Chain A
Amino acid sequence: MTETTMSSAKPSILRGFDLKTAGPAIALLILCVIGFLLNPAFLSEGNITNLLTRSAFIGIIAVGATFVITAGGIDLSVGSMAAVIAGVMIIVMNSAVDTFGTGVTTVLIGCGCSIILGLGAGLVNGLLTTKGKIEAFIVTLGTMGIYRSLVTYFADGGTLSLNYDIRGVYRPVYYDSFFGLPIPVWVFIIVSIAGWFLMNRTAFGRYCTAIGSNESVAKYSAIKVDRVKTLTYVIQGVCVSLATIIYVPRLGSASSTTGVLWELEAIAAVIIGGTVLKGGYGRIGGTILGALILTTIGNILNFTDMISNYLNGTMQGLIIIVAVWLQRGDWGRSKSAD
C-alpha cells in the first residue's frame, strides 16, 4: 500500500519541479525549432549572433532586475534611466572633445560618467524605498517620469547625437567581435556569470532571498535589510549603465524614445525565467533565458510573413502569460485532485 502511494506521488512532484526549472529552456528550444522550420536561415551564424547581441541590453538590465525583484522590490525606472544616462553620456563626450580630443580618453570619460550615473540613480531609488519608506513601485514610477522628462529636456525635444569622430572610435564596442562573439554578448556573459555567482553563491544573494521571503525574519536574523535592499537597486543601476555603454555606439544618439518599455521587457524576462514577482525566489539563469525568449519572438516574426511584425507585443504578452501559468506548478495537480 505504502509503496504504491509512493510511486504514484513521487513522479508527479518531480514532473512539476522539472517543468518549473527547465520550462524556460524548453520554451526557448521550441521557439528555435519553430524559427528553423519557418526559415532555416534562422539558425544561421549571422542571425544567432544578431539575436544574442539584441538580447544583451534587456538581458543585462534583467540580471539587475532579478536582484531587485528577488528582494521583494521592483524598479520601473530602468528604461528611462537608460535613456537619461545615454543622453548625459553623449553630452559629456561631445563637450569633452574640446579638451581631450576624439580619442579613447573621451569614450572612457563617457563610460565612467555612465557608471557613476547608474550608481547614483540606483542609490536614489534604493534610499527612497528603504530610508524614505516609500513603496518601490511609487518611487520608481516617480523616477521613471523624472528621467524620461530629463532626457527630453536635454535633447530639447529632439535627438542628441554623438560627435561623428567619437562615433568612429566608440563604434567597435557594439559592432566588433572578440573570439567570434560580439562584444555586447561578452558583456552579457560576464554580467550573467557575475550575477549568477552573486545570487547563488554569496551571502548577499542569500540575504536577498531571505528579505524577499519575509522581511521580519531577515531583520531578526541580523540582516541589514535596508542596506541589502539599497544595494539591489545600486546593482540594477550599474547593470543599466553597462547596458547603456554598449547601446550608445549602436545608434550614436539618444532621444525621448530611447529605452521606452525596457523596464517591462526586463521585468518580463525575469518573470518568464521563473523568479517570483513578490520576491523570495530568484533565478539568474532563468532571467537570461527569459531575455533570449523575448528577443527570439521578435526575431522569428521578422523571418516570417505569416504574422505581422506589428504583433510582436502580442506574441510577447502571450508568452509571458503562458509562462507564468505553467510556472504556477499546480495546474496539473488541480485537475487530478477533482
Chain B
Amino acid sequence: MPDGQAISAPILSADGISKSFGSVPVLFSVSMNIRAGEVHALIGENGAGKSTLMKILSGFLQPTSGHIRVDGTTKELPGNGQSEGLGIVLIHQELNLAEQMTVEENVFLGRELLSRGILDRTTMRAMVKGYLNDIGLDISPEDRISDLSIAQKQMVEIVKAMSRNARVLIMDEPTAVLTEAETELFFAQVRRLKARGTAIVFVSHKLAEVSAISDQVTILRDGQWIGTHAAKDVTPDTMAQMMVGRELSDFYPPMNEVDVDADHVLEVRDLVAPGVHNVSFDLRRGEILGFSGLIGAGRTAVFEAICGLTPRAHGLINFDGAPAQFGSVAEARDAGVVYLTKDRKEKGLLLGQKMRPNLSLFALPKFVKGLSVDHRAEDAALTRAIRRFDIRARDPSVKVGDLSGGNQQKLLLAKVMECDPRVLIIDEPTRGIDVGTKQQIYHFIAAIAAEGVSVIVVSSEMPEIIGLCHRVVVMREGEITGVVTGDHINETEIVRYAAGLKRERQQ
C-alpha cells in the first residue's frame, strides 16, 4: 500500500489487521510494511490504535483477523516476547530493566553465557563493552541501571535489542521523556542502527521529530489506516491534519482580553520555599498566566508551596485581598485554589480504581450527605464531567489506568474542577497527550478562564504558553527573571529570560 520507493521487500508486514477487545473494535484492516534500514513512524491521536498495532506486530497480541508476514511468509507470531527469536523486539514505554542490576546483567538477563556452569562474566562484559562502543554510549557495563539517566536507560534497552540481533525494533514513544539534547543523541543511535540495516518503527507525538528522523510515516485515526507517506512529502502540519481529520487552524482558542482593572485574586510576595527564592507575582481575575522556564527552574515548587504541599520558609500570600496561609491542600481547596499535578500517574489519579472514585476524591466533602458519600450525586457528577470534558471510556466501570493518557488528563482536570475553584493551577496541562486532545484541553482552559476563574499554566512547551497565556512569568533557578505581556510574548524573549541572558528587576 505505501506509495513509491520500494527499495527492498518488507521484513515485517501487517496485512489487513483488525482487532477487537470484547465487542469494541480498535483496529480496522490496517496494513503496514516495514523494510530493512528504514525508520517508520507511526502517528495518531491517543486511542487511535498505535499501541495495539505495535503489540500485534511484536506478537504480544494476536489480531482478530488479518495476517502478519515475516520475510513474505505468513506467520503467527509467538506471544510474550518470544518474537525476539525472530528478531522482532518491542521496547515498551515503561522500560523493562531490572533497576538494581548492572548494564551487563540486564543485557544478558535470561540468556546468560555460561562457562562450565558458571557465569562467564569476562566474555559478557567484553561483548556489552563492544555494543556500547558501537552505539557510542559512554557508560560502563558495570554501572547500575538505577544510576543511569532515562536516556541512558533507553540506550541500554537498545543495546539489549542489538545483542539479540534485532532486525525490527519497535519503540513506543521513545522520546517522550527525553530532553532535546538527549533526543539528538538518541537519533544519532537510530541513524547508526538504520545504517546497519535494522528496521525501526516508532511512535511519537512530536511531529517535528517525526519529520526529522523517519523515512516513512503511517497515520492512524480511530483505528483506521489513513495513509502511509514518505516523510519528506509531508509537513508536520499535514500530518497533524491527517491525524485529527480536520483543520487545526483554531488550534489555540481566541484570547479574551483581561480587564486591566480586574482585581488581583492572588498576590504572592517574597515567597521563599525549598527551591524557590523571593518569588512575587500577581494574578488577575479571569487571567491565564503562564509560567515558563527550563526544567528545574522551580516553577512546580512555587505552586506546591502556595498550596500547602511543601512548607514555606517565608513570604506573604494574599487571596482576594486578605492574607492567606494555606497549611494543607484541603485549606487551599476550601478557599478555591487548586493545583493539578504534572505527574498524573503517580500523583494525580488512582490508576487501579474506576473513574467515579477518582473524580470525586478531591472534592469528596462536597459529596457527603449526612454521614455517607452520596453515590447518586457522584454518578451525576461523572455523567456531567464525561460530557463537559469529552472523556472517552469504553464504559464508566473501566479502570482509570486503562484509559488513554489524554482521557486521564481530562479526568484529572474534571477532578479538580469538581470543587469549583477560583484559581486553577495546571502543571504541564498536555504532557504526553496527542494533538487533538491538546487542542481540546486548550479550549477547556480558555472556557474556564472566560467564566472568571484565574488560571495559571505551568508548561515547558513554548507554543502552548505563547498560544494560551495573557501574561508569562519566566523563572530561572528558583527566581523570577522576567514577565512578558501581550505582543512581547514570543519564543526569543522567553528563552532569553529562561536562559538568564536577560533579567528584569522586580518591583
Contacts and interface: CB of A to CB of B under 8 A. Distances in A.
Interface string A1-16: 1110110011000000
Interface stretch (B176-184, B363-371, B428-436, B456-464): B363-371
Interface stretch (B1-9, B20-28, B276-284, B382-390): B20-28
A111 B341 CA distance: 48
Contacts of A214: 346-347, 350-351
A202 B357 contact: no
A194 B365 CA distance: 20
B330 A202 contact: no
B349 A2 contact: no
B22 A10 contact: yes
B350 A210 contact: yes
Contact of A206 (B20, B65, B357, B415): B357
Contacts of A216: 343, 346-347
Interface string B386-430: 000000000000000000000000000001000000000000000
B25 A2 contact: yes
A3 B350 contact: no
Contacts of A223: 329-330, 361
Given A203-B373, A220-B329, A220-B339, A3 B23 contact: yes
B328 interface: yes
B104 to A, nearest CB: 31
A53 interface: no
A11 to B, nearest CB: 11
Contact of B22 (A6, A207, A217, A219): A6
A336 B372 CA distance: 42
A224 interface: yes
B329 A217 contact: no
B358 to A, nearest CB: 9
B362 to A, nearest CB: 5
B330 A222 contact: yes
Given A217-B350, A221-B362, A1 B65 contact: yes
Give the most central of A6, A207, A222: most B CB within 10 Å.
Answer: A222
B149 interface: no
A96 to B, nearest CB: 36
Interface string A93-107: 000000000000000
B329 A219 contact: yes
Give the most central of A10, A219, A220: most B CB within 10 Å.
Answer: A220
B133 interface: no
A303 B372 CA distance: 44
Interface string B144-187: 00000000000000000000000000000000000000000000
B362 A206 contact: no
Contact of A1 (B64, B330, B349): B64
Contact of B373 (A202, A221, A224, A337): A202
A224 B328 contact: yes
A201 B364 contact: no
Contacts of B346: 214, 216-217
A206 B347 contact: no
A206 B23 contact: no
A6 B394 CA distance: 14
A217 B349 contact: yes
B352 interface: yes
B132 interface: no
Give the most central of B330, B343, B357, B364: most A CB within 10 Å.
Answer: B364
A128 to B, nearest CB: 21
Contacts of A209: 353, 357
Contacts of A218: 361
A280 interface: yes
B350 A202 contact: no
Contact of B352 (A9, A202, A280): A280
Contacts of B352: 213, 280-281
Give the most central of B79, B351, B353: most A CB within 10 Å.
Answer: B353
Interface in A213-268: 213-214, 216-224
B77 to A, nearest CB: 15
A201 B23 contact: no
B323 to A, nearest CB: 21
A137 interface: no
B333 interface: yes
B44 interface: no
B395 to A, nearest CB: 12
A153 interface: no
Contact of A201 (B20, B339, B371): B371
A126 to B, nearest CB: 18
B350 to A, nearest CB: 5
B309 interface: yes
Interface string B455-494: 0000000000000000000000000000000000000000
A202 B347 contact: no
A197 interface: yes
Contact of A203 (B329, B351, B365): B365
A222 B20 contact: no
Give the most central of A203, A210, A213, A217: most B CB within 10 Å.
Answer: A217
A214 B351 CA distance: 9
Given A202-B371, A202-B373, 11 more contacts: A5-B64, A6-B22, A202-B372, A206-B357, A210-B357, A214-B346, A216-B346, A216-B347, A218-B361, A222-B330, A337-B79
Interface of B: 20-23, 25, 64-65, 79, 309, 328-330, 332-333, 339, 341, 343, 346-353, 357, 360-362, 364-365, 367-368, 371-373, 415
23 contacts: A1-B64, A2-B25, A5-B22, A5-B23, A10-B22, A197-B371, A197-B372, A201-B372, A202-B368, A202-B372, A203-B368, A206-B361, A209-B357, A210-B350, A213-B353, A216-B343, A216-B346, A217-B346, A217-B361, A220-B329, A222-B330, A222-B332, A224-B328
Give 4 closest A-B pairs by Cβ, nearest first.
Answer: A201-B372, A222-B329, A6-B23, A222-B330
Interface of A: 1-3, 5-6, 9-10, 197, 201-203, 206-207, 209-210, 213-214, 216-224, 280-281, 337
